[in-house]
């Protein structure tokens, strides 16, 4: 039977859906679905909110369409189906001298998901967004198979990058990978004592990969303290060493302020005051949380929200004010990240802008929702953006105001999907395809 009824959710487990799901394994099956009963598609549902969901309707699970279709070892160009995981591309090709140019914080993100969200990584300031390394995409749109690229169907290509699946179901893509000398990273970690040191260190960093962890429980003179990680590709060949761990049930530790404070103190102290340099397997550096299966259970049954914003480089004072609010609230989990971003973005709804991006997990509580609303308003006032891959609470008016190409994107989505068959829960909530 092609369609099976199931309950499913996004990564944050706050929004849920119930409906029929198809799991095609071949392009011919997907083509038949799109002819007979077109529906929105999703991958591994690593988006935090409701963008992978279609409550009450049908959806297409693309994770069985995960084959590599072609690879040129001389140029590093790979073509693969939408359901393949980025971590799998790294595992397959890093030993052969090539790795995805951009990866987010999880290797479970699929190729189609990376395109639909135009994801970014710890090297955005150098390499830009994922979509900038996409050569072409094959889509099923408006009853037919089409190919889009920067030079062919350019407007639809730009609407597809970061377009949360509204310009067609992604069948496959051809991407340009980057050379890598080995399967490891040389990582330097050092403590930063406060917020000013965080900003100064990221601004001064010349590393290809740079990211800061922040102790969001620290207050007063220590507010903003944390650890800066800087890394470069290494010629060492190291297999992944971390042993997988599992969270067997909902324990809610990350929703407990006392635990978060103790965890943060220990995590900070693991780095000597003089700093630390080590060699790590690529997967361990890029995807540290993938080694903990069921990590979202650490937030308890109610799930969690992630707030992620980016603000221009001259608005770091706004981020400071945000961090002060967050530290005073005591609501933040131990997972808090600050990164420097460059200008690179590939699509009309792509998140990045030159500036700083702050990402923080909060337990799904009324106080946290109120705080997130305040942070969202501060982001809008600073002419920043919220990340659709993480959003679960924002208003449509706010999101549309943050993306100046939204109207053009909505027109392209309407052309590719005139009957609205690909509309998902996020698009409905934010009214992204309403009349322009």
* Cα–Cα distance for residue pair 45/141, rounded to 1 Å: 21
Residues 99 and 72: their CA atoms lie apart, in Å, by 13
Dmax over Cα atoms in the chain, in whole Å?
63
List the domains of the chain with CATH numbers.
1-68+180-436 (no CATH), 69-179 (3.30.465.10)
For tokens 């290797």, the residue is 107
What are the start-end ranges of the E strands in 313-416? 336-341, 355-363, 385-386
pLDDT tens-digit readout, 43-76? 999 999 999 999 999 999 999 999 999 999 999 9
Rg, Å, the chain Cα set: 21
What is the rounded CA–CA span in Å between residue 134 and residue 91? 19
Q: From CA 406, how far away is CA 432, in angstroms rounded?
A: 8
For the entire predicted model, the pTM comes to 0.97
Contact 148, 242 (CB under 8 A): no
pLDDT tens track for 364-383: 999 999 999 999 999 999 99
- Burial bucket for residue 386 (CB in 10 Å: 0-12, 13-18, 19+): buried
Please give the pLDDT value at position 4.
96
The per-residue pLDDT for 240 is 76
Q: What is the average pLDDT across 420-430? A: 98
Which range is least confidently modeled, 44-58, 159-173, 248-262, 283-297? 248-262
Q: What is the pLDDT of residues 145-194, one digit of tens each?
A: 999 999 999 999 999 999 999 999 999 999 999 999 999 999 999 999 99
Average pLDDT for the chain: 96
Average pLDDT on 264-272 reads 95
pLDDT number for residue 248: 77
Distance CA 119, CA 108 (A): 13
Round to whole Å and give the CA distance between 177 and 288: 22
Residues 6+ positions from 203 with CB-CB distance below 8 Å: 340
Residues 384-405 have pLDDT tens digits of: 999 999 999 999 999 999 999 9
| Residue-wise pLDDT tens digits, 324-350 | 999 999 999 999 999 999 999 999 999
* CA–CA distance, 223 with 323 (Å, rounded to integer): 8
Backbone angles phi, psi at 404, to 5 degrees: -65, -20
Please state the rounded mean pLDDT for residues 247-266. 88
Alpha helix locations (H) across 65-169? 86-93, 111-116, 124-127, 154-160
In tens, the pLDDT along 1-44 reads 589 999 999 999 999 999 999 999 999 999 999 999 999 999 99
DSSP secondary structure letters along 139-173: EEETTEEEEEBTTBSHHHHHHHTTSTTTT-EEEEE
Predicted local distance difference test score (pLDDT) of residue 294: 87
DSSP notation for 264-326: HHHHHHTS-TT-EEEEEEHHHHH-GGGGEETGGGGG-TT-EEEEEEEEEGGGHHHHHHHHHHH
Report the sign of the C-alpha dihedral through residues 109, 110, 111, 117, in that order. negative
């Amino acid at each position: 039977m092609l369609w099976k009824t199931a309950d499913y959710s996004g990564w944050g487990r706050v929004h849920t859906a119930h409906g029929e799901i198809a799991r095609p394994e071949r392009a011919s099956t997907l083509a038949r679905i799109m002819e007979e009963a077109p529906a929105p598609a999703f991958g591994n549902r690593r988006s935090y909110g409701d963008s992978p969901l279609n409550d009450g309707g049908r959806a297409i699970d693309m994770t069985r369409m995960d084959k590599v279709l072609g690879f040129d070892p001389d140029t590093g160009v790979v073509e693969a189906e939408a359901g393949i995981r980025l971590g799998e591309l790294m595992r397959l090709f890093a030993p052969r001298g090539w790795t995805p140019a951009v990866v987010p914080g999880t290797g479970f993100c699929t190729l189609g998901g990376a395109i639909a969200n135009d994801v970014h990584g710890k090297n955005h300031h150098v390499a830009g967004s994922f979509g900038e390394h996409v050569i072409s995409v094959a889509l099923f749109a408006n009853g037919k198979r089409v190919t889009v690229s920067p030079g062919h169907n350019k407007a639809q290509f730009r609407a597809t990058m970061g377009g949360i699946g509204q310009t067609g179901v992604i069948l496959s893509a051809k991407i340009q990978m980057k050379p890598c000398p080995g399967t490891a990273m040389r990582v330097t970690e050092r403590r930063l004592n406060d917020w000013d040191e965080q900003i100064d260190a990221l601004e001064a960093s010349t590393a290809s990969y740079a990211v800061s962890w922040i102790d969001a429980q620290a207050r007063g003179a220590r507010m903003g303290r944390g650890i800066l990680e800087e890394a470069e590709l290494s010629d060492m060949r190291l297999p992944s060493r971390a042993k997988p761990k599992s969270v067997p049930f909902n324990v809610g530790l990350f929703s407990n302020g006392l635990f978060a404070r103790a965890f943060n103190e220990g995590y900070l102290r693991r780095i000597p005051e003089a700093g630390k340099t080590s060699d790590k397997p690529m997967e361990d550096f890029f995807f540290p949380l993938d080694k903990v299966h069921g990590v979202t259970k650490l937030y308890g049954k109610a799930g969690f929200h992630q707030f992620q914003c980016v603000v221009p480089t001259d608005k770091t004072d706004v981020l400071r004010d945000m961090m002060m609010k967050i530290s005073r609230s005591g609501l933040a989990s131990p997972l808090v990240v600050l990164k420097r971003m460059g200008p690179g973005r590939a699509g009309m709804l792509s998140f990045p802008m030159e500036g700083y991006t702050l990402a923080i997990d909060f337990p799904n509580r009324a106080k946290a929702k109120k705080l997130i609303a305040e942070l969202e308003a501060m982001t809008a006032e600073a002419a920043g953006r919220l990340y659709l891959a993480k959003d679960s609470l924002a208003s449509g008016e706010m999101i549309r105001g943050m993306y100046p190409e939204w109207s053009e994107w909505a027109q392209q989505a309407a052309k590719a999907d005139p009957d609205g068959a690909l509309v998902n829960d996020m698009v409905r909530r934010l009214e992204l395809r309403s009349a322009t």
